[in-house]
DNA sequence: ACCTGAACACCGTTCAAGT
DNA sequence: ACCTGAACACCGTTCAAGT
């Protein structure tokens, strides 16, 4: 409507296209195989073409991180409790292969912000913490979720590669449920700390 | 004494030599520059020589991780409380550039074990948790320490590279002290959760 | 505006061959 | 037992040139 046919640009690839291609490549090849050449190949373009759209690989990966975190879905559980926000964050990371490692690296380079962080901060304030306490609580939970999921996904990769890590080979279906329980238990340990801290104020 | 001169092997480089060279190279060049070629150069040897001593780079790096964690110093604070064990772990990571990222990757690949883990586990049991609770507490604290230190060291690298990350440029000497306080505060949040959980048993 | 083609300066790893 | 020299199959990034 706002762009009549006279102005229909034949842009062969948008940033969004490339990010989408990279995301699905990540999911079925894994982060170690997500090279600029692999991304270029998957959309039928030369590697150098990617550098017209993005200044470097890390920036491209940061956009992929944002996409899988759903940085657009601003609201979602905007006023849930801490636990449900953390569980949602955990699930988004679990939805794509190696997502925790990818997000961890984008975050470390300061190229993304996590939607979950302010949500947890505000929930902590509602729970009774002051601003500084809420910031520390948010950081602690974010570290926990990323660290936990990182290990979780690394084990998934090792399993599917047939690698035996210690005695993990004897893991049954019940153990997978136990892993999810461990996540919630670790989370509850931290939230219990938050509530206990509130009582001292 | 146990090896008379007739048997004095002229081993030109031991594994320990190489690990030591890699460790000091890590400390003044950073993890991204710690290539097999750089390590080989620093001890005056061809890259391929390293592959006689180690099967691959990750294994070499795992031995470096163990060295900087002081996996030999088994005792140290064998029966301290959770907080002092975590603080010691944090200090060992802070002692070498990029140590948190290095250890995180060795750990994810299942190539090392952390001395701090069983120490925290036992301290948690002494505090009143059962075995499963103590395991979860140990993992949660380990995730927190590594995640916190990872970000801490990434910021150190960005600072020394003159990179301005957000408004971090206005950080004063007082803020450095505040950063150390944040570590202890995050830690106390988790230990408060542990003590609160114990009361429910 | 968007992409090609070719190059540069690197990687980790392997392997025959030397001593 | 320990290392050299050379190669293989990759990387991320740059840049002139095309359309």
Residue B57 lies in a domain: no
Contact (CB, 8 A) for B13 and B45? yes
- d(C-alpha A166, C-alpha A179), whole Å: 16
CATH number of the CATH domain containing A152: 1.10.357.10
In this predicted model, what pLDDT tens digit does every residue of B124-149 receive, in sequence order?
A: 999 999 999 999 999 999 999 999 99
Residue A47 lies in a domain: no
In this prediction, residues A123-150 reach a mean pLDDT of 97
Residue A5 lies in a domain: no
From the list A107, A110, A140, the residue facing B189 with the nearest CB is A140
Contacts of B182 in chain A (CB under 8 A): 136, 139
Residue A3 lies in a domain: no
How many domains in chain B? 1
**Shortest Cα distance, chain A CAs vs residue B107, angstroms:** 9
In this predicted model, what pLDDT tens digit does every residue of A50-104 receive, in sequence order?
A: 999 999 999 999 999 999 999 765 556 667 999 999 999 999 999 999 999 999 9
pLDDT at B75: 53
Q: Which of A26-40, A167-181, B39-53, B124-138 has the lowest mean pLDDT?
A: A167-181
Contact (CB, 8 A) for A91 and A162? no
Residue B44 lies in a domain: no
Query: pLDDT higher for B13 or B178?
Result: B13
Residue A22 lies in a domain: no
The label of the residue with tokens 């081993």 reads B11
Query: pLDDT higher for A118 or B4?
Result: A118
- B contact test, residue of A192, A195, A197 with most B CBs within 10 A: A192
Question: Encoding tokens for residue A48?
Answer: 């150098």
Which residues contact residue B151 at a Cβ distance below 8 angstroms, ignoring those fewer than 6 apart? A107, A108
Q: Is the dihedral of CA A128, A125, A114, B152 positive or negative?
A: negative
Residue A57 lies in a domain: no
Which residues contact residue B80 at a Cβ distance below 8 angstroms, ignoring those fewer than 6 apart? B88, B119, B123
Range(s) of the domain holding residue B83: 68-199
Question: Encoding tokens for residue B154?
Answer: 């990434």
From the list A147, A185, A190, the residue facing B189 with the nearest CB is A190
In this predicted model, what pLDDT tens digit does every residue of B78-115 receive, in sequence order?
A: 679 999 999 999 999 999 999 999 999 999 999 999 99
Residue A127 lies in a domain: yes
Side-chain half-sphere of B14: how many Cα atoms within 13 Å?
5
């Amino acid at each position: 409507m706002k762009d009549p046919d006279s102005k229909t640009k034949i842009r062969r690839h948008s940033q969004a296209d490339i990010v989408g291609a990279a995301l699905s490549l990540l999911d079925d090849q894994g982060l170690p195989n997500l090279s600029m050449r692999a991304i270029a190949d998957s959309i039928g373009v030369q590697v150098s073409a990617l550098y017209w759209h993005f200044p470097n690989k890390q920036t491209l990966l940061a956009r992929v991180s944002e996409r899988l975190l759903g940085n657009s879905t601003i609201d979602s559980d905007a006023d849930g409790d801490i636990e449900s926000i953390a569980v949602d964050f955990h699930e988004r990371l679990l939805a794509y292969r190696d997502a925790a490692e990818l997000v961890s690296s984008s975050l470390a380079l300061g190229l993304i912000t996590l939607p979950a962080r302010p949500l947890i901060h505000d929930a902590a304030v509602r729970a009774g913490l002051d601003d500084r306490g809420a910031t520390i609580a948010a950081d602690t939970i974010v570290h926990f979720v990323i660290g936990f999921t990182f290990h979780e996904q690394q084990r998934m990769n090792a399993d599917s590669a047939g690698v035996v890590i210690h005695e993990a080979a004897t893991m049954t279906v019940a153990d997978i449920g136990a892993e999810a329980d461990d996540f919630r238990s670790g989370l509850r340990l931290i939230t219990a700390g938050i509530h206990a801290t509130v009582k001292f104020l």
